[in-house]
Every structure is written in structure tokens, then in C-alpha cells.
Amino acid sequence: MENVNMPPDDERSLKEATQLMQVLKEMKEGLDKVKSKVKANDYPTADGMSFLEAKYLLLLSYC
């Protein structure tokens, strides 16, 4: 897509939207990994899993 005569604000918005899509894609991939491990019973959830536990596991998957 050519950026012919786009106002600076539109160019910035397009760049930020592209970056946001990439970050959201990475987050979804990380969540999918955690979700699959929960389903495979790698992370026992008999008593439930708190949001903080899920967040911690998601952050660990980025390492």
C-alpha cells in the first residue's frame, strides 16, 4: 500500500495499528500456548486458576 500524500496523523495511525496487530497476535499465541497446557493438564486447575496465575504463566512463555 502506497502512502501517497497521507497526512502525518494518518501515517502515524497506520504505523501504530500495524504494531498493535503484531502485539495482539503475539499475545494470542501466548494465550493459546497456556490454554493448550491447561487442557493437557500440565497446569492443574481443579481448584480453578486465578487471573494472576494465568498472567504469570503467559509472561513465562515469553522467556
Is-contact 29 56, C-beta < 8 A?
no
49 vs 20, higher pLDDT: 20
Query: What was the pLDDT predicted at 41?
Result: 79
2 vs 57, higher pLDDT: 57
Residue tagged 496523523 (cell numbers): 9
Q: Is it the case that residue 10 has pLDDT exceeding 80? A: yes
Query: What was the pLDDT predicted at 14?
Result: 87
Amino acid (one-letter) located at 6: M
